[in-house]
Amino acid sequence: MSPTFRKDKSADVLMINDRGIMLSVQGEDYFLSYNRVPWMRDATINEVLDVRMSGKNAIEWPKLDVDLEVDSLRHPERYPLIIKRNELDFVQKIRKSEMSPKQVVNVNQLWN
């Protein structure tokens, strides 16, 4: 019977510099550029170092409320960067012509 090699199931920060973060995840090393995750640029060292596995297919930074799938580290081209600043960023825009007269509200009327 041949030996079974098990990959390390942990997530660790190997290095932090002005361009990004070097991670070791499940025995593989990845460089996570701040261009890819700009919200990590202003994180404290302690916040970045507090990384752990979240299940077997994701990593998380609990203090930063950031989760990444391991596959997004392996294949970043499959995961376009989308930042959700607030709920209104994803509200569909509706043209006035698609609304009934009762639905069209002047914003100024809401504050008076």
Fill in the amino acid letter for 87: E
Nearest alpha-carbon partner for 5 in 22, 33, 27: 27
Residues pairing with 16 in the sheet: 21
Q: What percent of the chain has pLDDT above 70?
A: 63
pTM of the shown model? 0.63
Q: Average pLDDT for residues 26-30, to the nearest whole number?
A: 93
Say whether pLDDT at 86 is over 70: no
Q: Which fold has domain 11-87?
A: NE0471 N-terminal domain-like (3.30.2020)
Question: Domain coordinates of the chain in residue numbers?
Answer: 11-87
